Amino acid sequence: MSKAITKKLEAGLQITKMDDILSLTKFRLSLTVVISSVLAYLVSSKIGFSLSNLSLLFTGGLAITGAANGINQVLEKEFDSMMERTKNRPLPSQRMKNSEAVLISGILLVFGTIVLGMINPLTAFLGMSSFILYAFVYTPLKRYSTLSVAVGAIPGALPVLIGVVANEGSITILGITLFMVQFLWQFPHFWAISYLSFDDYNKAGYKLLPKNADGTIDKNLGAYSALYSLLIIPTVLWSFYMGVSTGVISTSLIIFATLVYTWLGIKLQMKPSRQTALTLMFSSFIYLPIVLILFLIG
């Protein structure tokens, strides 16, 4: 949404309060996160299907994700003002006060937790855990250690586990499988984005990428990306062996898609450039929904 606001500012158009709320909660990103949770719910729907629970999952998940993004921006207001890609957000541009952002985020958090609790207590607990890990562990850790990427991948992967728990009522092998797939997927995805925004992140003091001694990006970043994506294959095979997820054809297609994803990480290793990082980033946007749809079909 910050890009949309930047375009409006460049065009001389007025920024509305709704524009700022959508930007604060990163609405489009939040919607993408919740869609992965909904797909996970549908994957597990062989256990049973409830349209009301699916609606509660979508509504509550969107609210909690928006709340986490809002608190993230409150905590990072000072650093957002240093980066080109975030300086036009409502807080660093002073179109919104901190107190207002906290109030909006707090209302969304309480509302989202109550809504998820209407499905079952475990779903609400996981939703709240995701909020706490993202807002109060991952967000401050970004300025101190590259370990933040691994920590941030936990709340980043919880939506699919939440989707399964919303349907099945407990943490199952299917839920763990989808969680691990999304957890591992995030490393190449996030590193590609960080590679492209390296100068901006450096300016704000974020430690999101492994670096060489001279402060440049680690020359083995592509190899690390390929390794994490490759680890998705044994995860999927384990799930197939346990007989809880996909059939032979779907499993084979997931493995093929993962090998392509891995190859793009290898290409980044062989030729580190903005172009190879862009290719990896855009492929990551396509890869995850394809895999979740294949799980659903399987």
Taking CA atoms, 298 is separated from 82, 182, 245, 249, in Å, by: 46, 17, 7, 8
Instruction: Choose among 194, 208, 258: nearest CA to 231.
Output: 258
Q: Give the architecture (CATH level 2) of 1-170.
A: Orthogonal Bundle (1.10)
pLDDT tens string, the chain, 298 residues long: the values are 566 666 666 666 777 889 899 999 999 999 999 999 999 999 998 767 889 999 999 999 999 999 999 999 999 999 888 888 888 899 999 999 999 999 999 999 999 999 999 999 999 999 999 999 999 999 999 989 989 999 999 999 999 999 999 999 999 999 999 999 999 999 999 999 999 998 888 888 888 888 877 778 889 999 999 999 999 999 999 999 888 767 899 999 999 999 999 999 999 999 999 999 999 999 999 999 999 999 998 7
- Position 157 scores a pLDDT of 97
- Position 206 scores a pLDDT of 86
- Position 47 scores a pLDDT of 60
DSSP class of residue 133? Answer: I
Angstrom distance (rounded) from CA 48 to CA 204: 47
